[in-house]
Every structure is written in structure tokens, then in C-alpha cells.
Amino acid sequence: MLKTFSRWLEEHWYQLSPIQLFLGPFSFVFRMLTIGRRLFYRFGILRSEKLPVPVIIIGNITVGGTGKTPLTLWLAQKLIDNGWRPGIISRGYGGSANMPQKVDAQSDPAVVGDEPALMARRKICPVWIGRNRVAAGRALLQAHPECNVILSDDGLQHYQLRRDIEILVIDGVRTFGNGMLLPSGPLREPSSRMNSVDAIVLHGGVEDVGDAYSMKLRGETFYNLRNPEITAKVADFRDKDNHAVAGIASPQRFFDYLRELGLKARTHPYPDHHPFMPADINFRGAEAILMTEKDAVKCAPFATDICWVLRVDAHLPPTLIKFILGKLSPENLSGNNLSRNSFSAEKGSAEKTRPIQKG
């Protein structure tokens, strides 16, 4: 019942409907609480804490996924390629863990969360989770003192953790929905928050992104979930009875990409962070079940030989990593306001609906 209500409410976030008239007062209260909380951090009423290494936040201002995790993995690899030794922290959303802990390839997604499990299985760098990201960061650094930069997958609103660089990720298709704050709309913070971040990444959507960096997720190789060393190409599925499952923020994005690859499949959308069970991927007559990496980490315990996973990687312009490396230079870090918790006043009452310009 709760999941049904949540899905119904989310549908109204991406349109204007009479429900917003009823929820408007609650959104106003939420806005005031959001503004007050940021002011409390700005003036030291609430305490923020600094880690001994630079911190990069990869976050969003809307409820639901926007592509933060693929961007975090891309950035971690690019930093390694340029001589840095990153570590990744995450809240572990959807997992049951309360205390900071390491995530590895054998970690249970039900405990650590599906996205941290996915990142750990890529084996790019250390991954730790914790509801308190400051504690998670300290635990990671204690276990891996070689790490000299921390990437936080999500956490833009976790102001207890001071940050050196903020990257805002926006879904280029859904953008800010109806432009309203919770619960009338999908926004966690006013869209004017985009004016105070260091970089904006637009995932999909319009090509003319102005000041934002365009990100695309691409992949054409599938691996077998039961035997990951076995891979297949797109052409191997063109004449099969394919079923596609997706329990991500925007399942249609995955289904559309399969069609872009030239594949036909019967589609089965599930809610974001869906706790998959064997019945969810049991389709009579199916010759291949295609899924995302995020869903695969939860389906692995009961996968069959016909379960195939599409690996996708983020593709971004090289100017983004060049910009990040510049921000990480000693001269910029020494002069940087590490608290980064100052409140950016809203400019007017209208919310932006197209994330093309920062100003």
C-alpha cells in the first residue's frame, strides 16, 4: 500500500495537478526547514566536520536516481589515471547497516545497499558506507591511509561533512519535474541551489547544455550473471525472446536504450531499489533476461543461465576531469572555503525547469 501511494505521488511530481494545492503548505514548511538547516550550518549552530583529505560530493537535488553512481565510478577512475588515490563513501541507501563498514565484492546488497555493492564489484577503489558520512570517511581513511581524496556518492544535503567540490547531477529528461519541493514535487532543495555548486552534470536529455557537462551511459557488452566471465554482444540477442527488468529510478531509460541497440524485449519495470525475488525474473518461455548492473547485484543469488547484465559506463567530456584536477590543485585547495555550507539566497520565486544555465 505504501509503495503504491509513493508511486502515485511520484507521478504527480512530474506534472501540475490539483494535488499540489493540497500539498503546497507542506512544501512551504519543508522549504523553511531546508533554509533554516543550511543557515544553522552556516553560522555554526550545527557543526560541520572536515576530513584530512579533499572531499568531492556527487549529488542531486531531486528524489530518485540521476546517474550519480556511474559518474562517481568515472571520476574515481579518472583520478586514478591522474595519480590520485580515491576512496568512495556512500550512505548505503536501501541497506540495513547502521554503522560504517567496508563494502567488497561479496557484500550483501540487502545490508550495504545496491549501489555501493555495484561500485565495490567494479574494484576501482575502496568503498565504505555509513549513515553518518563523516564517520564513514574517517573509517575508510583509517583502513586505507593511502587514499588522498574522498568521493561521496550522494550527500549534497549532508552538510555535516565539509566539502571542497560539489558536483550536481541532473536527469536531463525529467529535470526538476513540476519545480516544487517535497512533498508537492521531487525537489529536496530549491533549484537555485544549482547556482552554488562547482559543476553541473546533465545525464541525457537535451544536447545544448550550456554551462553543464553532458553525460551519456553507454555499453554494448552483456555478461552472464551466473558466469560473469561469459560475455555476449548485442547481436546475440536479436532473434531471442528477451525480457528486460529494471528496478531503477527511470526504468524506461534502460528499456529505451535496449531499443536503441536494436533489441526487442518485453519490459518489466519495478520501483527504484526494488528488493528482487526469484519470482520477479521468472518468465515462462523467456530465452534471455536482460537487466542493469544495479539490479544484478540483488538477483545474483537466484540467477539462472539466461540472466544477462548490460555493463554501462559514463561518457563525459575531458574538460570535466581537467576542471576537477584544477580545483584539487594545492593553490586552489589552500584558498578554498572548506565549509561550503553557506546558504545561497534564492533568486525570485519561480523554479528553473531546464538545467541549462547555472546563473
Q: Are residues 325 and 249 in the same domain?
A: no
Residue 348 lies in a domain: no
Q: Are residues 156 and 300 in the same domain?
A: no
We report the CATH number of the domain holding residue 63 as 3.40.50
Q: Are residues 239 and 263 in the same domain?
A: yes
Q: Are residues 250 and 321 in the same domain?
A: no
Residue 358 in grid coordinates: 547555472
- The answer on pLDDT for 258 being more than 60 is yes
Q: Are residues 320 and 305 in the same domain?
A: no
Residue 245 lies in a domain: yes
Q: Are residues 322 and 173 in the same domain?
A: yes
Q: Are residues 184 and 161 in the same domain?
A: yes
Residue 203 lies in a domain: yes
Counting the structural domains of the chain, the total is: 2
What's the CA gap between 149 and 125, in Å, rounded? 11
**For residues 203-216, average pLDDT:** 80
3-class secondary structure, 167: strand
**For residues 25-53, average pLDDT:** 95
pLDDT tens digits, one per residue of 94-126? 999 999 999 999 999 999 999 999 999 999 999
pLDDT tens digits, one per residue of 293-328? 999 999 999 999 999 999 999 999 999 999 999 999
Structure confidence at residue 359 (pLDDT): 33
Pairwise pLDDT comparison (173 vs 279), residue with the higher score: 279
Task: Supply φ then ψ for residue 244, to 5 degrees.
Answer: -115, 130
Q: Are residues 186 and 260 in the same domain?
A: no
Residue 214: its H or E element: strand 213-218
Question: What DSSP line would sit under 81-148, residue for residue?
Answer: HTT--EEEEE--TT----S-EEE-TT--HHHH-HHHHHHHHHTSS-EEE-SSHHHHHHHHHHH-TT--
Q: Are residues 251 and 280 in the same domain?
A: yes
**For residues 145-154, average pLDDT:** 98
Pairwise pLDDT comparison (19 vs 261), residue with the higher score: 261
What's the CA gap between 221 and 232, in Å, rounded? 6
Longest dimension (CA), the chain: 63
Residue 104 lies in a domain: no
Q: Domain of residue 61: give its range.
A: 42-84+148-216+315-334
